[in-house]
Amino acid sequence: MSKSVLVDITRCIGCRSCMVSCKSWNDLPAEPSEFSNNWDSPGKLSADTWTNVSSYVLEEGDQLKWRFVKRQCMHCNEPACESACFTHSFVKTKEGAVIYKPTELNEDYCVGCRYCMIACPFDVPGFQWDKALPYVQKCRFCYDRTKEEGLEPACVTACLTGALTYGERDEMLALAQDRMSKDPRYIKHIYGEKEYGGTSWLYISDVPFDQIGFKTEVFNRPVTQRSIPSLTWDVLKWTPYIFVGWGALLTAMRAYTKRRAEVHNEEDLYGPVDPKE
């Protein structure tokens, strides 16, 4: 039921037609870019750039390897942004897309607090910093194309080399396993299968993921495999008990220690300060 895209790093040639089709399908403005010493342009995701291809040059002995990585929202199985939002502005649809309701469904509840941006482990959501009433923006897995028109996401349609494959998540996992078993060049890891509870976008690669900008290890420890909402919930679920329990304890203490109370008259104790003193 839940749709997914398998990204095969070995097949990507860095042509960026996915970026172009994303901009044109979603009517996103171009961003002014600067000359730089690499092929990444504009280089990062933002409110106006929902997918981006980064390039990596890896040295192996005296050989150079070029690898290109398409990035976009990972569409987590249990998204941190959804759990962080206090107005339900993000939702994980049953089709697999994580969408932003204010612009997608015209349900304009977002207050622009940007807690979703703190929460996202992949640093995906972008904010319209230049707007007076800004929205949060990110890849929406072409929810309109896939749901209403039965099409593939624009980037998948545009991909010339078969680096992107769209389908059911379990089928994509099976396809990934199949490719990995047939070709020993692949690293034995499907990125997105387990990271942060799993994502809808899955990656396979022939070079180690940490060398092409993936978050595999943080502070010398492997990234968390539990979903972020489950971590928060472990703490939040105590709230009602603390509310009632602490309230009851305070009431009891107040009643117990009240014996000496009300002997003083507060109006005699305090007075305004004379500023002229």
Partner 1 sequence: MYGRNWSFRITWFRILLIMLMLGAVAAALYRFVFGLGAVTNLSDQWPWGLWIGFDLLCGIALAGGGFSTALIVHVLHRDKYLPIARAALLTSLLGYIISLVSLFLDIGRWYNFWRPFFYWGFHSVLFEVFWCISLYTTIQVLEFGDIFFEKVKFPALKKLLGYMMTPLLILGIVLPSLHQSSLGSLYIVAVDKLYPLWWSMIIPFFFVWSAFFLGPAMVTIEGTLASRAYGRQPELPVFQSMTKITMWMMIIYFIVKMIDLNYRGVFGMAFNGSFESNMFLIEMIVFILLPIFMYAIPAIRTKLWGVVTASLLVVVGVVFNRMNVVFTGMAKSVGGSYFPSVWEFLITLGMWSFLALAYLFIVENFSILPKEEHTHSTHTSYGTGFNV
76 lies in the site for partner 1, by CB under 8 A: no
CA-angle at 128, arms to 124 and 130, nearest 5°: 145
277 lies in the site for partner 1, by CB under 8 A: yes
Could you say which residues in the range 201-230 bind partner 1, by CB under 8 A?
215, 218-219, 221, 223-224, 228-229
Could you say which residues in the range 5-34 bind partner 1, by CB under 8 A?
none
Report the distance separating Cα 163 and Cα 9, nearest Å. 7
DSSP 48-94: S-S-EEEEEEEEETTEEEEEEEEE----BSS-HHHHH-TT--EEE-T
- The pattern of x and - marking residues 257 through 276 that bind partner 1 according to CB under 8 A reads xxxxx--x-xxxxxxxxxxx
* Of the candidate residues 162, 208, 213, 247, the single one contacting partner 1 (CB under 8 A): 247
Report the distance separating Cα 99 and Cα 92, nearest Å. 7
Q: How far is the CB of 40 from partner 1 (least distance, A)?
A: 14
Q: Which is nearer to partner 1, 37 or 239 (CB)?
A: 239
Q: How far is the CB of 260 from partner 1 (least distance, A)?
A: 6
Q: Which is nearer to partner 1, 14 or 43 (CB)?
A: 43
Strand partners of residue 136: 127
Report how far apart, in Å, the C-alpha atoms of 141 and of each of 3, 255, 260 are. Answer: 9, 58, 66
The one-letter code for the residue type at 195 is E
Report how far apart, in Å, the C-alpha atoms of 261 and of each of 114, 122, 140 are. Answer: 47, 56, 61
Could you say which residues in the range 100-159 bind partner 1, by CB under 8 A?
108-115, 117-119, 121, 123, 125-135
Phi, psi of 180 (to 5 degrees): -65, -35
Q: How far is the CB of 66 from partner 1 (least distance, A)?
A: 23
Could you say which residues in the range 152-191 bind partner 1, by CB under 8 A?
none
Could you say which residues in the range 35-64 bind partner 1, by CB under 8 A?
44-47
Is residue 260 classed as helix, strand or coil in its secondary structure?
helix
Tokens 């897995």 belong to 141
Tokens 């997105």 belong to 192
* Of the candidate residues 13, 105, 185, 233, the single one contacting partner 1 (CB under 8 A): 233
* Of the candidate residues 9, 12, 80, 164, the single one contacting partner 1 (CB under 8 A): 80
Q: Which is nearer to partner 1, 164 or 212 (CB)?
A: 212
Q: Which is nearer to partner 1, 111 or 174 (CB)?
A: 111
Is residue 177 classed as helix, strand or coil in its secondary structure?
helix
Q: How far is the CB of 111 from partner 1 (least distance, A)?
A: 5
Q: How far is the CB of 87 from partner 1 (least distance, A)?
A: 5
